[in-house]
Amino acid sequence: MEMTFKYCLTFITLLICSISCTDGGEHQPSAAAQRTAIDEKAKVSNETKVKTIRLTQPEAERLAALPMSCIQKPLPYKAGLTIASAADLAMPQVHHPAFYGCFDWHSAVHGHWSIVHLLSEYPELAQAAELKRMLQENINQEHIQTELEYFSMNEYTKSYERTYGWAWLLKLAEALDKWEDPVAAELLRDLQPLVHFISEQYIDYLPKLVYPIRVGEHSNTAFGLSFAYDYADHFDDQPLKQMIVSRAKDFYTADADCPISWEPSGYDFLSPCLQEVDLMRKILSTAEFKSWLADFLPELVGGTLSLDPGQVRDRSDGKLVHLDGVNFSRAWCLYPLLSLYPDNEHIRELADVHMDASFGNIVGDHYSGGHWLGSFALYALQSIPNE
């Protein structure tokens, strides 16, 4: 009985001590002290926050050197063709006299896009005269006719570069039309037959595609539709625009809870989830899109999405370096959302962190990434809203 009383007394003493320590006791920080601690924490967070990258003319000239060094470099080259006859066994420049450099056809195309974009934004580039000469040498009526003939050479070439290269070709046409220079009008005129063919190929192909392709590499359907939509909207290509809107809604309207935590795969340079967001932002009304996004990626809207940049451990490996690309493409999908969610700093921070993770790795890096990553960085930079 005596032992029980002692235990009870000890317990009551400890309980009183505990209450006094947690309910306003001398060890409890004051409200003012707590606010100061929170303010100091926020100050540290703001000081270490990654800033939005802005392109300067010296950086533009360094980036221009990348496509300049490869759009007329025929080797090494990854042909990606099916050999149907002995005639197919020719040097890539024979089949592709316009887009034979930068390791493969699509990289050559968006290498030309990079040059046009930079000349449009920075007409006083130190390399401007040389870059214009190279563009005119590559894109002319004869060369584009040969490129066009390749797509109808046999049953295997009809789907060549579908739809990644197709999308970049249309993006190149869009950039040429926006470039206010007499050279641009000439180049666009010569490119037009191939552009018109690609538009028709989209319209022929999309009704046959029953399911979208949800991967992080070239065949991603959302990416191919997003760039093609930009072209169709800019040039008022109504048949193509209506086809893209219709099929995009068929493919993606019912999607919800995209498993972005599964990304990226080891060779991704596109985000399947965010490319879909980028496309739906373009084809839906603002109200429709916000409702759709709240179901598709609620963590992004709510500011709780955890998304680390892709990590590259060997930039001499052409596949592993894709992950620098995923950082840029994620950024170009995120930045445009700021116009719809101006108070969502979480979106800006995600985009900035991804840009910062790879931007310093472009110039002077291995050719495995150097032949294409500059285009991705430039496209991400041009997606940042003006403020």
**Of 256, 240, 339, 254, residue with least CA distance to 294:** 256
Predicted local confidence at residue 125, as pLDDT: 95
3-state secondary structure of 351: helix
Taking the CB of residue 346, how many other CB atoms lie within 10 A of it?
A: 18
Predicted local confidence at residue 383, as pLDDT: 97
Rounded to two decimals, the pTM is 0.86
**Which stretches in the chain have pLDDT values below 70?**
1-48, 363-365
Token pair for 269: 């340079």
- Compute the distance between CA of residue 112 and CA of residue 121 in angstroms, rounded to an integer: 14
Predicted local confidence at residue 49, as pLDDT: 77
3-state secondary structure of 103: strand
State which H helix or E strand residue 252 sits in: helix 238-252
User: Under a CB-based contact definition with an 8 Å cutoff, are residues 333 and 276 in contact?
Assistant: no
Q: Which residues make Cβ contacts (< 8 Å) with residue 321, sequence separation at least 6? A: 312, 314, 315, 366, 368, 369, 373
Beta bridge partners of 103: 77
List % helix, strand, coil for the chain (3-state, nearest 5): 65, 0, 35
> Sign of the C-alpha dihedral, residues 69, 384, 285, 326?
positive
